[in-house]
Amino acid sequence: MVKNVFTNADDSRFTFITEWYDAKPDILRTFYMFFFPADDTLELFDVKNRVTFLKRTKCEGVSLADIYVGSTINIFSRQMTVTGFGDGFTKKKLGMLKQKTFGMLKPNVFNEMGEIIKDIYKNDFKITNLKMCTLNKEQATEFYKQYQAQPHLPFLVDYLMSGPVVAMELVAENAVVKWRELVGPTDPQSARKEAPHTLRAKYGKDKSLNSLHSSDSPEAAEIELSTFFTSTHDQRRPTPRTTAILKDTTCCIVKPHAMREGLLGDIIVAIQNKGFTISAMRMFYLDQFCAEEFYEVYKGVVPEYSGMVSELISGACVVMEIGGHGEETPVKFRAAVGPSDPDIAKQLRPDTLRAMFGKNKIENGVHCTDLPEDALMEVEYFFKMLE
């Protein structure tokens, strides 16, 4: 436990504990991060060395809405993880304002995941972690252990194993209660009568095939989040595996600016409406090294290279493995994405993804594999190397 030697008496400054992995000396550094909401500036204080690491300054793209326990923020190309509140005042003021919960889309709503994610954003949730995965029998049984004495447990386990699920970390004010209210009653038939606006009323079939899961308490949320998002290097409890098939597929990245704008659901719907399948999906927070390594083929070739790297590390991105057209998938998806410049795309190919969701050549909505021969390499980079 880091002891805070600073005090705070008003809301002019919030204090957080943050960590940054410094790769060169291979050490984990701990800082106090002071955030000043009046002008969105921040300051970093090195706990071990007891010196100011970063003087008070404005960091573009970082606001109070981005900072909560468990979040990863980019501070001048350094990926900082917020591990705790730095003082009692900050915890009291922001503890419930930035609450996390766990949500899951079950196999029978796989094709509706885009529309459901749109509803999630419309109800003021932030998706701060996401993973499409499959569960084995042991994992599914453990997930439903509260029903171990019930005769319908085998059915529930088989249901959860019947296809991909989408696990999500959701953040909002009073998130646990708010998510349960949005999901709705356990029985979709009751939901359609009592709460027709809820997700189970829209997408659930019956009490067993009720389409979504919501944690019933903050404690349960922490356990369920750790089940799906604990590091895969922790062999004591490996997380559910990726669904990537790594054959006849290509890579798509929903860029950080599109994530901040809440466009993930819209982009998924557009991809599926164009006849493509999404066979794997995961949220990543890339650091400078990984972004430069991934974009290495563009270095010295594309003038926007530096801007592309800066954009990719500016926040969370969602990487998808795209399929549906066999060996022609990379070429057909590249055509569906459109020209790299959204302005040109809007004129020549207004139905393409970049025409619909891009802003400029750097913030152009999505990345896609340009050359068919690079498709497998790009997919493997995320779903094999980084996974």
Domain boundaries, the chain: 14-94, 99-240, 250-386
Q: H helices then E strands: how many in the chain? A: 16, 15
The residues carrying an active-site annotation are: 213
Q: What is the pLDDT of residue 235?
A: 44
Determine the topology of domain 14-94 in CATH: PH-domain like (2.30.29)
Q: What is the pLDDT of residue 232?
A: 39
Q: Which CATH architecture has domain 99-240?
A: 2-Layer Sandwich (3.30)
* Whole-model pTM over 0.85: yes
Q: What is the pLDDT of residue 122?
A: 97
Nearest to 32 by CA among 45, 48, 51: 45
Q: What is the pLDDT of residue 151?
A: 81
Q: What is the pLDDT of residue 221?
A: 94
Q: What is the pLDDT of residue 32?
A: 97
Question: Rounded to whole angstroms, what are the CA distances from 263 to 41, 228, 321, 356, 365?
Answer: 27, 24, 18, 10, 9
Question: Within the chain, which residues score under 70 in pLDDT?
Answer: 1-11, 231-238
CB atoms within 10 A of CB 186: 13
Q: What is the pLDDT of residue 4?
A: 58
Q: Do domains 99-240 and 250-386 have the same CATH topology?
A: yes
pLDDT in tens, 93-130: 887 777 899 999 999 999 999 999 999 999 999 999 99
Q: Which CATH code fits 250-386?
A: 3.30.70.141
